[in-house]
Structure 1
Amino acid sequence: MNGRELHELAEARAQELPGATLSNPFGPGSDVYKVRGKMFALLTATGGVPIVNLKITPEDGAALREQHSDIRPAWHMNKKHWISVHPGGSVDAELLADLVTESYLLVVEKLPRAHRPVDPAAFGRVER
């Protein structure tokens, strides 16, 4: 997928998630999706190339980087807990949607139970 499609697909999935909000704390051109004030996705560009930064477990991040040339350590974020998805051919729309959902759920499960918009154990978690 190209960069425009990458951003459009990630944005569409993020907007579907309960309690997700969009903000631009880093200025125009950097869309941040949060749940209850905690970031789970950053849609931006580096060197003119659109990327999507997503939260991930360290184990999943390592495996995904090995399997997909378009998944790399996150640009400008903690590289142990975040990945950057780049345009190209190794990540399809289904995997991108799963990664956005997984990032969201990782943030939700750290929220106090009373503030969680969904039960992270029951909300379509993807097994890897």
Structure 2
Amino acid sequence: MEKHIVLALTIVLCHFALSSAIAGTATYYTPPYTPSSCYGYDNMGTMIAAASDTIWDNRAACGRNYRVTCTGPTNSGDLHPCTGASVVVKIVDYCPSGCRGTIDLSQEAFSAIAHLGAGKIKINYVRV
């Protein structure tokens, strides 16, 4: 009986973790990463991103961390762009209106989850 309860709880928790992810798209930008809208000339490293209007929230997104996972291609140029990894990035900048993705990852963060040649990918992201 106890094994069944543990199994049921595990299934519920996994379902919750998967269902809380939000679908979107990601692009990338290249150095230099400063100045940024959130931190000016302070260097925040390379696992960073710029938020589009979708998650910018009038600057409230500054400093938020998101786990981003590539889920597939957005074009026929690279049919299998994903590396299978996820990356956690910190929002340090704003990707202005007209931004091509939900989140604009640093080149280093993008390359951790997808081939750079893809340029734009489908993603799931969740705030962590």
TM range, smaller chain: under 0.3
Higher percent of residues as helix: 1
When you count strand as a share of all residues, which structure comes out higher? 2
Q: Which has the higher contact order (CA 8 A, sep 6+)?
A: 2
TM-score by length of 1: 0.27
Q: TM-score normalized by structure 2?
A: 0.27
Greater radius of gyration (CA): 2
